[in-house]
Amino acid sequence: MTQPVDTGPKRVLLSWSSGKDSAWTLYQLQQDPSVEVVGLLTTFNSQFNRSAIHGVRQQLLQLQAQAAGLPLFEIALPWPCSNEQYETIMGEALEDARSQFAMDAVAFGDLYLEDIRAYREQQMADTGLELLFPLWQIPTEQLAQQMIVGGLKAAITCLDPRVMPEHLAGHAFSHELLKQLPDSVDPCGENGEFHTFAWDGPMFKQPIPVVAGEVVSRDGFVYADLVFGGSLSLFNKSLSRLDESPSAVNKSLSPFSGSLSLFNKSLSRLEGSK
């Protein structure tokens, strides 16, 4: 009998939004010995250089990828962008990504919206790629608690003021936030109530220092800006030291002692009620 050929771990490209769901999906994949995450795929608004939905500065997504030790495949979208344009750009980008990463599958951080999943499956039906949904149908109250207890740190960067209070823009994703959410709001914001930026957690080699920027209302949503609050040279130096000696995590973070004071001061703002 012919023995099956061991081709090694499944090569997975992860769709990356910068938020908690993407970050937690990465963490789940990192713990699965049958897969190898080979890169992160993200879209951004080319007019503003910010992530397409979350409104996060593209620089911060690049730093997330560095902190995760993964290449970031960036897809520029025009503004405005029609659905036809989006599908054309994404189709071409996916082929480019396949050439670069030779992936077997693409993973998404979707939680339970059937129409979103069906759309992804329809659009990618002819690609030959497997689609993975590691967080699919985990009860979101349970999932939110798992993220927080598991060490994920994130802040709200965008919210819909029609369904939740504006003052929660910029708030940390925390037990306190969950208590303040209206009963009608999903604990993970899966219905678009809010979006986040993940700046620390077990999926990253080190935190991404951020400080709170201005809060603005635009196109019916409230956006809380985040700005890199550290030194790029120290950030990169710290990562290189981690790559050389993963056991030196605590020492590698010491170069941030100066900027972390600003970072912690900012977090006190993020974690408090505004």
- Number of domains forming the structure of the chain: 1
Q: 199 is in which domain, residue-wise? A: 10-271
- What DSSP character marks residue 53? T
* CATH number for position 67: 3.40.50.620
Asked, for residue 3, whether it belongs to a domain, the answer is no
Asked, for residue 115, whether it belongs to a domain, the answer is yes
pLDDT in tens, 147-183: 999 999 999 999 999 999 999 999 999 999 999 999 9
Asked, for residue 219, whether it belongs to a domain, the answer is yes
Asked, for residue 43, whether it belongs to a domain, the answer is yes
- CA-nearest of 196, 212, 205 to 256 is 205
- Using CB atoms within 10 Å of the CB of residue 192, give its burial: 0 to 12 exposed, 13 to 18 middle, 19+ buried: middle
Q: Quote the pTM value.
A: 0.86
Asked, for residue 5, whether it belongs to a domain, the answer is no
pLDDT in tens, 2-42: 555 567 899 999 999 999 999 999 999 999 999 999 999 99
- Six-digit token string for 187: 């604990």
Asked, for residue 2, whether it belongs to a domain, the answer is no
